[in-house]
Amino acid sequence: MAGEDQLFQRFGREFAKGHILFREGEPGGEMFVVQSGKVNITKKVRETEKILATLGAGEFFGEMAILNNKPRSAGAVMAENGKLLVIDPRTFEAMIRGNVEIAVRLIKKLSDRLQEADEQIENLLLKDPASRVVHFLLSSAKRGRDTPQGKLVSLNADELHGRMGLSTEAVQQALDKIAKARIIQLVPEGVVVPDLGKMQKYLEFLEMKERFGDT
C-alpha cells in the first residue's frame, strides 16, 4: 500500500465521472493506470459512440499512442469517479526497461486486446441481436468471475447497449429470450452463465436458425 501511495503522490490524479481523458484521433502523450474507479474506452462507429471496454483497478490504457506515436485509436471517459496514474513517455520507457514484469504484463495485455478485437469483429458479422448478445456474453463469461452459480459477467442491459451498438430494448429482449431458454440467469450483479458448453451450443443453434430460417 505504501508503494501505491508513493506512486499516486508522484503520478496520480483524481477525475470525476464523465471527465473525458482523451478523444479518438487526438495526439497522445500519456498513458494511464487505473487505481480506483472505472474508465470506458469508446470508439465512434457510424456516428454512434460505442463502448469497447470498461476498465477497472489495475488496468492500463493509452499506451499505444506512446508506443507508435500515432493519434489515439479510441477515446476514454471516466465511467465513475476515480484515481489514475498519468505516465509520460519518458517514465513509461524507463519502467519498461527497468522492470521485466511490467514488460511481460504489457505484452500479455496487448495480446488479450488483439483477441478481443477479433471477437468484436466476429460479433459484428452476426445480424440477429440475440446471436450477438449470446456471442458477447459467451466471450465475456470465459474471462468472467467464478461463482457457485456459474460465470458472472458484471454488465447490465444499459452497459451491453453501449458495448454492442444495439438499442437498449433490443438488448433487453435478447436477454429475456436467453434467460427464458435457461441459458443465463439475470442477477443484480449482471448476468450469470451456468454452463459455457450449453451456451456455445445455443449460439450454434441461433446461427443455424439465422442461416436457414425456421424450416
Report angle CA 144, 210, 175 to the nearest 5 degrees.
40
The answer to whether residue 12 scores a pLDDT higher than 70 is yes
C-beta atoms surrounding 152 within 10 Å: 19
Q: What is the pLDDT of residues 165-188, one digit of tens each?
A: 678 888 888 899 899 989 999 998
Q: What CA–CA distance (Å, rounded) separates 12 from 9?
A: 6
Q: For residue 156, which amino acid is it?
A: N
Highest mean pLDDT out of 44-58, 71-85, 130-144, 198-212: 71-85
Q: How far is CA 149 from CA 40, 44, 54, 188, 194, in A?
A: 28, 36, 24, 13, 6
Write down the domain spans for the chain: 2-123, 126-212
Which CATH fold would you assign to the domain 2-123?
A: Jelly Rolls (2.60.120)
| Three-state secondary-structure class, residue 73 | coil
CATH number, span 126-212:
1.10.10.10
- Dmax over CA atoms of the chain, in Å, equals 65
Q: What CA–CA distance (Å, rounded) separates 53 from 148?
A: 26
